[in-house]
Amino acid sequence: MTIEKKKLPAILGGLPSVTLSHDVSNKWPLLTDDDENGVLQIMRDGNISTHPIIRELEKVYAELTGQSYSLAHNNGTSALLAAFHSIGLKPGDEVLVPSATFWASILPMLWVGAVPVFCESESERMGIDPIDLEKKITPRTRAIVVVHLWGLPSKMTEIFDIAKKYDLKIIEDASHTHGAYWRDRPCGSLGDISIFSLQGDKLAPAGEGGILLCNKYEYYEKAVCLGDITRIIELQTPARRFAATSYGIKTRIAPISAAIGCNQLKNLNDHNKQRGQNIKYLSNKLEKLGFHTFLPPDHIKRVYFEYLIRYDETKYPLPIGLLAEALSKEGCQVAAPRYPLVHQQPFFTEGIFKDILRLPPECQLPEYETCSLPFTETANNSLLKLPSFPGPDNGILEQYAHAFEKVMKYSYEIVDRINESN
Ligand SMILES: Cc1ncc(COP(=O)(O)O)c(C=O)c1O
């Protein structure tokens, strides 16, 4: 191969830029002897259902967020269900939600009869759009779900103002923001009730697990009664009478997961630092090429659950699909965002949600079949997901930067070649 050919992008017959393995830089979760010893300790102690490590996990999350009450769950989904139940949502109550999130930020509310109302996401941080959500408030609106998507805290100043003005509760889904801060306040402390998922991909994973946090005893007590049979018996209030039944489900975390969750939280800052360093390094290079990498404003400390970048295909010759194909040929791992938009899913568009949300016929429901969020739909199609590089940089970041530079430099040639071959 001639030197000239070597310089070409792989899609035009050149050599791929990314030759180093992703195994080092993109291995996650990072489990060590400490995790293993934590798990072994539970097994040796023999209490594999209610071990005190669960309380330890709750304590460290209460410390992280400064919240008075912390209740561990078997996953983030059940912590969200408990949150919707605990703020007292009733059948027919409406909750404003983003569509750009994992389904679990929304669907558990159907089990308490609450109706999700989908809102646009804003362009700066991809969180729920305060302007659109205010337009969608009706006399039935009771709450807002805030999700700090991919690790970037939402526009809380505006959201707090609206919540106060219309007397709405905030459920904060902080599943992507372990260790992030909004104006010196930790994510996980910004809602009337806040939750974290500790699922295996998360920034402080436990395998499966969730945490519910709040400052109001009333909410905590309701969450306990819903599904934590061990705790109901300990309540010093009349709610103790539910100790023989709960409210019908069981949401306790497994101690083995709690042990991993505790240990991973100890490493959270170091892990976040490594991801942050790697991603900022690459982001600075990609910004120069015209990509938007969601670097945070000064008053926000973001983290990187996932690394998403925005490409405005109207400004460049390459359509985004072809860009992704060319980068893949370079050896880059590029993909569409991990979650499809929730409002477009058959569960809503085909009316299946009604099987769960059994509201009387006179209850008005949003028209999910025709629900359209034009900004969010377009914005979602302009995103590319890259690896979040949680491990040490083995030189792969420079190779990624080179791959992007090469593809952007030769974008006219790539388009011409593809047109010729069609
Ligand atoms: C934003 C968000 N909310 C909620 C959840 C649900 O958590 P879990 O998987 O622990 O049930 C997840 C992910 O898994 C998530 O990404």
Tens digit of pLDDT for each residue in 66-114?
999 999 999 999 999 999 999 999 999 999 999 999 999 999 999 999 9
**Residue 100's pLDDT is what?**
98
Residues 302 and 403 in one domain: yes
Q: If you search the block for the tokens 């362009």, which residue do you land on? A: 123
Residues 297 and 174 in one domain: no
Q: Is 120 in the pocket of ligand 1 (CB under 6 A)?
A: no
Strands 94-98 and 300-301: unpaired
**Residue 417's pLDDT is what?**
87
Number of folded domains that form the chain: 2
Q: Compute the distance from residue 5 Cα to the ligand 1 centre, in Å.
A: 46
Q: Compute the distance from residue 370 Cα to the ligand 1 centre, in Å.
A: 26
Residues 13 and 47 in one domain: no
Residues 186 and 78 in one domain: yes
SS3 121: strand
Domain presence at residue 119: yes
H or E segment to which residue 264 belongs: helix 255-266
Residues 222 and 299 in one domain: no
Q: Compute the distance from residue 56 Cα to the ligand 1 centre, in Å.
A: 22
Domain presence at residue 373: no
**Residue 383's pLDDT is what?**
97
Closest C-alpha to ligand 1, atom 16: 102
Domain presence at residue 353: no
Domain presence at residue 256: yes
Last residue within a domain, chosen from 267, 285, 320: 267
Q: Is 199 in the pocket of ligand 1 (CB under 6 A)?
A: yes
Residue 402 sits in a domain whose CATH number is 3.90.1150.10
Closest CA to 389 of 340, 329, 328, 333: 333
**Residue 3's pLDDT is what?**
54
**Residue 360's pLDDT is what?**
87
* Enclosing domain of residue 12: 3-28+268-338+379-421
Residues 283 and 390 in one domain: yes
Quote the mean pLDDT of the chain. 96
Closest CA to 289 of 371, 403, 122: 403
In tens, the pLDDT along 3-37 reads 567 789 999 999 999 999 999 999 999 999 999 99
* Distant-in-sequence, close-in-space partners of 186: CB < 8 Å, separation ≥ 6: 64, 65, 66, 179, 180
Angle between helices 255-266 and 53-65 (to 10 degrees): 40
Q: Compute the distance from residue 201 Cα to the ligand 1 centre, in Å.
A: 10
Residues 198 and 287 in one domain: no
List helix spans (H) across 66-117. Answer: 76-86
Residues 393 and 244 in one domain: no
Q: Which atom of ligand 1 is nearest to the CA of 210?
A: 10
